[in-house]
């Protein structure tokens, strides 16, 4: 166990899996010579060569499809999108090809592929570079959707995603790459589909995942100063969702707030709230509240961007509200 950044944890996962299985290759823009737009692939070209660390032209639709084709005939591609905003150009290959081929071939063609890259907002990148697409992709049967919030989970989930025989959408975050945490050395696998109770409390549940885990943990620290103890359920995987972890926590706390980066309408939080009302209706002491991005394209100006994003004060306010405490 050593302290490492989220970026290095991903790098370790890629490196270890490429050493373990020569069918695994990394493809995307700037992954090789440039060493990765966010340096996640640093050193991989030197170790594995240009057949396995493949720089592409700027052509998301094309190289995503190349990945799916290679997966059809037995390779295990890791396709890096410089951001998920650009992956919209490739969405046909993710949704119409990767997610469908197993089913519409009657089980003949599994597609073991990982589509990964940063998702959601960084800082002042404005509307086209600041979007969270978790809900879009989580909507699609045939995909698994993973969104780790800590370095250890980033490593363990990426290794599991690469070994998975299904298409896995893997969401990272520009603002997460430099965060640090304990990361187990060597073989360390985090199961896909399993949430993690990141903090224990009995007053309220915060259900969250990905970058928002950091906000939830900060909010929990501040709430603790007022004697409010919250469970932080880190989903880690958005699809398939760990229903048992959510309901076990809500049955204990009787209150829930769902915190996500994306927009409100048809968001992941809507799915979580629905699960809670179905599974825990008699346990609830308050309506489930949601914290999310404002229902606008992301603005550029610093103050407007701050107002649009979910944050710690908004999360605290939501927890206090479901506990019927006055806002402070």
Count Cα atoms within 13 angstroms, Cβ side, for 159.
Answer: 23
At a CB cut-off of 8 Å and minimum separation 6, what does 274 contact? Answer: none
Query: Which listed range, 34-42, 139-147, 272-280, 286-294, lies at the site for another protein (CB under 8 A)?
Result: 139-147
Contact pick of 19, 46, 96, 277 for another protein (by CB under 8 A): 96
Contact pick of 64, 145, 272, 288 for another protein (by CB under 8 A): 64
For another protein (CB under 8 A), the number of binding residues is 42
CA-closest candidate to residue 208, choices 186, 239, 237: 237
**Position 105 contacts another protein (CB under 8 A):** yes
Nearer to another protein, 26 or 273 (CB): 26
Nearer to another protein, 41 or 253 (CB): 41
Nearer to another protein, 4 or 79 (CB): 79
Q: Which of 60, 80, 174, 260 is catalytic?
A: 60
Angle of CA points 15, 18, 20, to nearest 5°: 110
**Position 66 contacts another protein (CB under 8 A):** yes
* Min separation Cβ 275 and another protein, Å: 19
Count Cα atoms within 13 angstroms, Cβ side, for 116.
Answer: 33
Give the Cα separation of 145 and 115 in Å (integer). 10
Q: Which of 129, 139, 264, 279 is catalytic?
A: 129
Nearer to another protein, 6 or 48 (CB): 48
**Position 91 contacts another protein (CB under 8 A):** no
- Count helices and strands (H / E) in the chain: 13, 14
**Six-digit token string for 244:** 């048992």
Give the Cα separation of 75 and 130 in Å (integer). 32
* Min separation Cβ 36 and another protein, Å: 20
**Position 86 contacts another protein (CB under 8 A):** no
Contact pick of 31, 101, 316, 318 for another protein (by CB under 8 A): 101
Instruction: Give, in order, the Cα–Cα distances in Å from 203 to each of 72, 192, 200, 211, 228.
Output: 49, 28, 10, 23, 6
Instruction: Give, in order, the Cα–Cα distances in Å from 27 to each of 32, 56, 59, 60, 169.
Output: 9, 7, 11, 10, 15
**Position 92 contacts another protein (CB under 8 A):** yes
Residue numbers 156-215 binding another protein by CB under 8 A:
163-166
**Position 51 contacts another protein (CB under 8 A):** yes
* Min separation Cβ 25 and another protein, Å: 7
Judge whether 60 counts as a catalytic residue.
yes
| Structure-token match 């490593």, residue found | 155
Using CB atoms within 10 A of its CB, is residue 236 exposed (0-12), middle (13-18) or buried (19+)?
A: buried
Judge whether 203 counts as a catalytic residue.
no
Instruction: Give, in order, the Cα–Cα distances in Å from 194 to each of 30, 91, 217, 244.
Output: 32, 26, 19, 9
Residue numbers 1-30 binding another protein by CB under 8 A:
25
Nearer to another protein, 166 or 194 (CB): 166
Give the Cα separation of 112 and 256 in Å (integer). 35
* Min separation Cβ 162 and another protein, Å: 9
**Residues at the site binding another protein, with contacts judged by CB under 8 A:** 25, 51, 56-57, 59, 61-75, 77, 92-93, 96-97, 101-110, 141-142, 144, 163-166
Catalytic residue ranges: 60, 129
């Amino acid at each position: 166990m050593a302290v490492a950044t989220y970026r290095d944890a991903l790098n370790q996962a890629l490196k270890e899996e490429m050493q373990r299985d020569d069918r695994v290759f990394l493809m995307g823009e700037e992954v090789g010579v440039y060493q990765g737009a966010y340096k996640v692939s640093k050193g991989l070209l030197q170790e594995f060569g240009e057949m396995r660390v493949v720089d592409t032209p700027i052509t998301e639709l094309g190289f995503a499809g190349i990945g799916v084709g290679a997966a059809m005939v037995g390779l295990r591609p890791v396709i890096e999108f410089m951001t998920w905003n650009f992956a919209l150009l490739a969405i046909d290959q993710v949704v119409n090809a990767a997610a469908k081929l197993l089913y519409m071939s009657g089980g003949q063609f599994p597609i073991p592929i990982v589509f990964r890259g940063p998702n959601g907002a960084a800082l002042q990148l404005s509307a086209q570079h600041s979007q969270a697409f978790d809900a879009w992709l989580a909507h699609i049967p045939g995909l698994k959707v993973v969104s780790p919030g800590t370095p250890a989970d980033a490593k363990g989930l990426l290794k599991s995603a690469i070994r998975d025989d299904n298409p896995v959408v893997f969401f990272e975050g520009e603002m997460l790459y430099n965060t640090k945490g304990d990361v187990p050395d060597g073989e360390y696998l985090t199961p896909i589909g399993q949430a993690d109770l990141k903090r224990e409390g009995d007053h309220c549940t915060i259900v969250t995942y990905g970058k928002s885990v950091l906000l939830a943990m900060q909010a929990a620290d501040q709430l603790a100063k007022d004697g409010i103890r919250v469970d932080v359920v880190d989903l880690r995987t958005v699809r398939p969702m760990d229903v048992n972890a959510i309901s076990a926590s809500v049955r204990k706390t009787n209150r829930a707030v769902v915190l996500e980066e994306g927009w409100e309408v048809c968001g992941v939080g809507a799915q979580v709230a629905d699960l809670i009302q179905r599974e825990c209706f008699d346990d609830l002491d308050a309506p489930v509240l949601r914290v999310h991005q404002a229902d606008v394209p992301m603005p550029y100006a610093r103050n407007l961007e701050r107002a649009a994003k979910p944050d710690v004060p908004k999360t605290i306010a939501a927890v206090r509200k479901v506990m019927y405490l006055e806002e402070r």
